[in-house]
Amino acid sequence: MDTKQIVKGFETQLQNYKKKNEQTELGRIVFSGDGVVKITGLKHCKYGELLEINGSIRAIALNLEEHEIGAIVLDDEDKVATGGLVSATGDIVTVPVGPELLGRVVDPLGNAIDGLAPIKTSGKRRPIETPAPVIMDRGKVNEPLQTGIICIDSMIPIGKGQRELIIGDRQTGKTSVAIDTILNQKGKGVICVYVAIGQKASSISSLVHLLSENGAMEYTIIVCSTARDSAPIQYIAPYSGCAMAEEFMYQGKDVLIVYDDLSKHAVAYRSMSLLLKRPPGREAYPGDIFYIHSRLLERAAKLSEFHGGGSMTALPIVETQAGAISAYVPTNVISITDGQIFLETELFNAGVRPAVNVGLSVSRVGSSAQIKAMRTVSGKLRLDLSQYRELAIFAQFGTDLDAQTKSMLAQGERTTEMLKQPVSSPMDVEKQVIILYITMKELLKNISVKKLSAFKVGFLEYVDTNFPQICKKIRENGNLDFETSQEIEAATTRFIDFYFDKVK
């Protein structure tokens, strides 16, 4: 062995020794309360690093100050007390990932909380915070992600890899839109992750029930943090859900992730930041409130074919107060996402459900992903509807309306009625096309508005049994040719003339 080699050997030994020493550096807790601890003595700690208190309790370092570190406790905070010993692990928090998680309800650290057997994953873990895919790794959003909700798929289409915000006041059907979208992915090969942030345990339990009843749990993971959980646990929930979803995306699969909801996430982060004594800004949120959501939502992407072609579509939900979409968190998330579905209390109370405000809702990238048949039938829909709404307000004041206005109002009323849809009943895209075609062609003129919902159900059944080729052709060709549209018209006339009177 020559001298050079010996010196190199010594150097490596020395480095390893130094590393070991760094890893075993110990700190001490000087303050503990509400899930937040202050630690002194950890000189080499990094931002976001995983810390271990008393060898077992996990914490994340968030404030790096000159003499002390502020950290948030993830596990049992009751067992943390002043004087406790803290060691830095040199790593960041990871969660278990893999297909074994499908069908399960887990907490944000990946532990099963559904009372079933512990989850045995392959041992693979992913860090909860990872950089978003870079521009060159991304592909174009060009495939539709069907929500099964007719007014969304027709006017606010969502593409795979898109981030579409669902925004509205409390109890306007936000969660229902997201859940219906999950239900509609059955048999379509899309894996779903639902992240509950600070919700009531009872709502999550009924949601799990609903998903299992409809056979949707098989392809769904529920990451659950309830209102009872500490702010740090609620804070990491969306990041760990995202890590679980990313695993599938990087394998080339399609994933849909729902964050329900980011307003509660922002509130959890605010309380943590205030406890960490960070300076409060607008609405008492800390300065980096934009960044916690932007770095989360940027991780949703459509990967290029070269990188497997997988996708992660994100549906974040934000709750507004009295329709104020210009509040701090709503404007932030609106500016990060590729569009929003705005749900309105007035419409909801008037019985227009889903209560989508078509004027304020938009999808910035999804229309290129829409199938051709849908584009053909829904082209004029948005304009017609907004004209109708304007006219309806105007018409309230006058009694003497001319024939043309009357017919526009009648048509608008019928369109609105045909776009109504109850919960848990997603509709296939070909059926949506048929419904929109007959509505836009004004074939329903002679049916009274009250009978339209019965008509819709009856007619779709009638088409299914007597003209199965219509749906088949739309599904296979992706467009609506002249012959098929003639068939739809013939079926409608036949149904109205011979059957509808009997079923109504």
Which residue among 147, 154, 162, 176 contacts ligand ATP (CB under 6 A)? 176
Give the span between the Cα atoms of 458 and 240, in whole angstroms: 44
* Residue found by looking up tokens 């009177």 in the block: 501
DSSP SS3 for 481: coil
**The sheet that has 311-319: what strands, in order across it?**
105-106, 220-226, 190-199, 254-260, 311-319, 165-168, 339-343, 362-363
426 binds, options ligand ATP, Mg ion, none, Cβ within 5 to 8 A by partner type: none
* Cα-based angle 225, 228, 229 (whole degrees, multiple of 5): 50
Q: Which is nearer to Mg ion, 175 or 226 (CB)?
A: 175
Which residue among 278, 353, 414, 431 contacts ligand ATP (CB under 6 A)? 353
Which residue among 334, 423, 460, 496 contacts ligand ATP (CB under 6 A)? 423
Binding segment toward ligand ATP, per CB under 6 A, in 151-159, 293-301, 371-379, 417-425: 417-425
Give the binding-site size for ligand ATP (rule: CB under 6 A): 14
Give min distance, CB of 150 to Mg ion, in A: 21
Is 228 a residue of the active site? no
Which residue among 175, 184, 340, 357 contacts Mg ion (CB under 5 A)? 175
- The DSSP line for 409-430 is HHHHHHHHHHH---TT----HH
Are the C-beta atoms of 217 and 191 separated by less than 8 Å? no
Binding segment toward ligand ATP, per CB under 6 A, in 14-22, 34-42, 168-176, 488-496: 168-176
| Residues 458-462: contacts with CB under 8 Å, at least 24 apart | 458/495, 458/499, 458/500, 458/503, 458/504, 459/491, 459/492, 459/495, 459/500, 460/431, 460/434, 460/435, 462/491, 462/495, 462/499
Give the span between the Cα atoms of 503 and 486, in whole angstroms: 24
Which residue among 280, 287, 422, 468 contacts ligand ATP (CB under 6 A)? 422
Give the span between the Cα atoms of 31 and 38, in whole angstroms: 5
Phi and psi at residue 459, to the nearest 5°: -65, -40
* Residue found by looking up tokens 């593409």 in the block: 159
Q: With CA atoms as reference, report the closest residue to 275 among 71, 93, 74.
A: 71
171 binds, options ligand ATP, Mg ion, none, Cβ within 5 to 8 A by partner type: ligand ATP
Give the span between the Cα atoms of 443 and 165, in whole angstroms: 34
176 binds, options ligand ATP, Mg ion, none, Cβ within 5 to 8 A by partner type: ligand ATP
Give min distance, CB of 452 to ligand ATP, in A: 15
For position 171 contacting ligand ATP by CB under 6 A, the verdict is yes
Which residue among 32, 175, 220, 416 contacts ligand ATP (CB under 6 A)? 175
DSSP at 301: -
Binding segment toward Mg ion, per CB under 5 A, in 146-154, 169-177, 179-187, 422-430: 169-177
Give min distance, CB of 175 to ligand ATP, in A: 3
Instruction: Find the binding residues for ligand ATP in span 51-90 (CB under 6 A).
Output: none
Give min distance, CB of 345 to Mg ion, in A: 14
Are the C-beta atoms of 246 and 312 separated by less than 8 Å? yes
319 binds, options Mg ion, ligand ATP, none, Cβ within 5 to 8 A by partner type: ligand ATP
Give the span between the Cα atoms of 37 and 56, in whole angstroms: 15
Give min distance, CB of 18 to ligand ATP, in A: 52
Q: Which is nearer to ligand ATP, 146 or 492 (CB)?
A: 146
Binding segment toward ligand ATP, per CB under 6 A, in 108-116, 137-145, 163-171, 458-466: 163-171
Binding segment toward Mg ion, per CB under 5 A, in 174-182, 274-282, 459-467, 491-499: 174-182
Measure CA 231 to chain center. Answer: 21
Q: Which two three-digit tokens encode residue 176? A: 């229902």
- The active-site residue out of 295, 364, 375, 389 is 364
Strand 339-343 relative to strand 362-363: parallel, antiparallel, unpaired? antiparallel
Give min distance, CB of 174 to ligand ATP, in A: 4
For position 299 contacting ligand ATP by CB under 6 A, the verdict is no
Q: With CA atoms as reference, report the closest residue to 178 among 139, 152, 209.
A: 152
Strand partners, 163: 314
422 binds, options Mg ion, ligand ATP, none, Cβ within 5 to 8 A by partner type: ligand ATP
**67 burial level (CB within 10 Å; 0-12, 13-18, 19+):** exposed
For position 126 contacting ligand ATP by CB under 6 A, the verdict is no
220 binds, options ligand ATP, Mg ion, none, Cβ within 5 to 8 A by partner type: none
* Residue found by looking up tokens 């860090």 in the block: 127
Question: What residues line the site for ligand ATP (CB under 6 A)?
Answer: 168, 170-176, 319, 353-354, 421-423
Question: What residues line the site for Mg ion (CB under 5 A)?
Answer: 175
Residues annotated as part of the active site: 364
